[in-house]
Amino acid sequence: MEKTLASQPVYSGRAVKLRVDTVKLASGRETKREIVEHSDCVAIVAIDAEDNVLLVKQFRKPVEKELLEIPAGGIEAGEDPLATVERELGEETGYLPKKVDRLGGFYTSPGYCTEYLHLFLATELIPNQLQAEDTEEIELVRIPLSQIPELIASGAICDAKSIAGLLIFLASKKSAGS
């Protein structure tokens, strides 16, 4: 266990804050921890009536390439995660779920970031008007569920939240005997 001795805010932006904590280790030694503060988010495995996974393809500036991902987004202050699922799915895919089930959750990068992702399964999807402010930057891609393991293994799906979310879903489906 580390005891926080001091915490110094360094940066506060739209999406993240950065602080540097001075901590005391169990050995008594003091060191610094750089911590990115990020709000909790939702990640959504959306399955349509034809057993396709709804993925979004979008350019990600930090890695300078387009990535194929499950829909996800930040939980706004005071917002219920289920409301975030509906909002984000509508914004990114143009669909609303009639059924939402919690699959679990996980920390994205606990070595330096506070972000926690709540993972949900969205099914019984109904078309809705696409509402994202940057709709032209997002492409909806339907992938048959049977192809997901190969896309993960080949690196075509390469972001952690999508890999974790899809593998958790596949494991839950297998354990349910579906």
Shared domain for 58 and 118, answered yes or no, is: yes
Which residues are CB-contacts of 148 (< 8 A; sequence separation ≥ 6)? 53, 157, 166, 170
pTM for the full model? Answer: 0.91
Residue 102 belongs to domain with CATH number: 3.90.79.10
- What residue ranges in 15-94 does DSSP mark as E strands? 17-24, 30-37, 41-46, 52-60, 65-69, 72-74
Taking only the tens place, the pLDDT of each residue in 51-69 is 999 999 999 999 999 999 9
Taking only the tens place, the pLDDT of each residue in 112-149 is 999 999 999 999 999 987 665 655 688 999 999 999 99
Query: What is the distance between the alpha carbons of residues 4 and 22, in angstroms, rounded to a whole number?
Result: 6
Residue 15's domain comprises 3-37
**In whole angstroms, what separates CA 109 from the centre of its chain?**
11
Taking only the tens place, the pLDDT of each residue in 67-98 is 999 999 999 999 999 999 999 999 999 999 99
Cβ(74)–Cβ(41) below 8 Å: yes
- The identity of residue 18, as a single letter, is L
Shared domain for 138 and 50, answered yes or no, is: yes
Flag whether pLDDT at 111 surpasses 80.
Answer: yes
Handedness of CA 166, 172, 177, 178 (dihedral sign): negative
Shared domain for 8 and 92, answered yes or no, is: no
| Domains in the chain, number | 2
Shared domain for 19 and 56, answered yes or no, is: no
Shared domain for 48 and 86, answered yes or no, is: yes
SS3 21: strand
